[in-house]
Amino acid sequence: MGLDFTIIVKNWDYFLWGRTFQGDVGGLLLTVLMALAAGTLSLVLGIGLALAGWLGPRRLRTVLTMLADLVRGIPLILVIFWIYFLVPALFRTKVPGALSVILALAWFSSGAVMHTTLAGLDALPRGHREAGITSGLSEGQVFTALLLPQALRNLVPSYVALFASMIKDTSLAFILNVPELTMTANQVNTRAQIYPAEIFLFTAAVYFVLCSGLSWAAHGLALGLQPGHGV
């Protein structure tokens, strides 16, 4: 099979930023922006929920874990549709497609962030809390000054890995015609008709570079953050 990548060369700027300079953010730029927004939201939400589950009564943690499992039992694509069709019905305002996807991703992933964070807190040696208490710190001080910073440092690689899978999930914005990378590729494919292999293989390569780069970064971080490396 002969591949002819001139279609990519001719449209490279469209793949990278779509119609951003015409006032419509798109392409790879939109993919990255959506992932960053959803990543920030789910990090804040997920860590918040983990703190509530860790510090609150035992029953709260059980309820939160059950809710997170329920959320993950529903396909992400349906969550996107729920937000896209229901928020307008409930509040009589239209939600832009990109925002629907960001909210759906945050909703979907904050449960995973919560699970990961709780696991990180559980993994700390019990002696740390006891040492803090013996040194005269209060429960609250032990948590904010001793446990949380250690847990978060250990968790950075896991968060980076979650972010890589979030970048892949932004491709589902395709179903709402949001002009991110996958939609952009589809538009170029529809226009050109005869180069699907070149277009979709190139798009796959862009995602691959982005996500495997992040995986390597996560792996490197995991090694670098081990005790004794002084970060």
Partner 1 sequence: MGLSIDWSGVLTGQPLHWLLSGLAVTLAITLVASGIATVVAVGLTALRLSPVAPVRLATRAGISVIRNTPLLIQLLVWYFVGFGLLPPGLKAWMTGDHPWSVLPGQVSLFAPEFAASAWGVGLFIGVFLAEELQAGLNAVAPGQREAAASQGLSGWDTLAKILLPQALRNAYQPVVGQYLNLMKLTSVTCSIGLAEITYQARQVESFNSHAFEAFAVATVLYLAIGFCLERVLLAGRRA
- Binding positions for partner 1, rule: CB under 8 A: 1, 70, 73-78, 81-82, 85-86, 89-92, 164, 168-169, 171-172, 174-175, 182, 185-186, 189, 196-197, 200-201, 203-204, 207-208, 211-212, 215
Give 54 or 171: the residue with its C-beta nearer to partner 1: 171
Residue-wise over 113-135: b if at least 16 C-beta within 10 A, else e? bbbbbbebbeeeeeeebeebeee
Give 1 or 231: the residue with its C-beta nearer to partner 1: 1
Written as six digits, the tokens of 61 are 């943690």
Specify whether the CB–CB gap between 18 and 82 falls below 8 A. no
Q: How many Cβ atoms are within 10 Å of 19's Cβ, its own excluded?
A: 14
Place of tokens 């409930």: 90
Task: Report the nearest approach of partner 1 to the CB of residue 41 (Å).
Answer: 20
Give 124 or 211: the residue with its C-beta nearer to partner 1: 211
Written as six digits, the tokens of 69 are 């499992």
Task: Report the nearest approach of partner 1 to the CB of residue 148 (Å).
Answer: 28
Cα gap 170→107, rounded to integer Å: 13
Task: Report the nearest approach of partner 1 to the CB of residue 102 (Å).
Answer: 16
Give 64 or 176: the residue with its C-beta nearer to partner 1: 176
Task: Report the nearest approach of partner 1 to the CB of residue 57 (Å).
Answer: 27
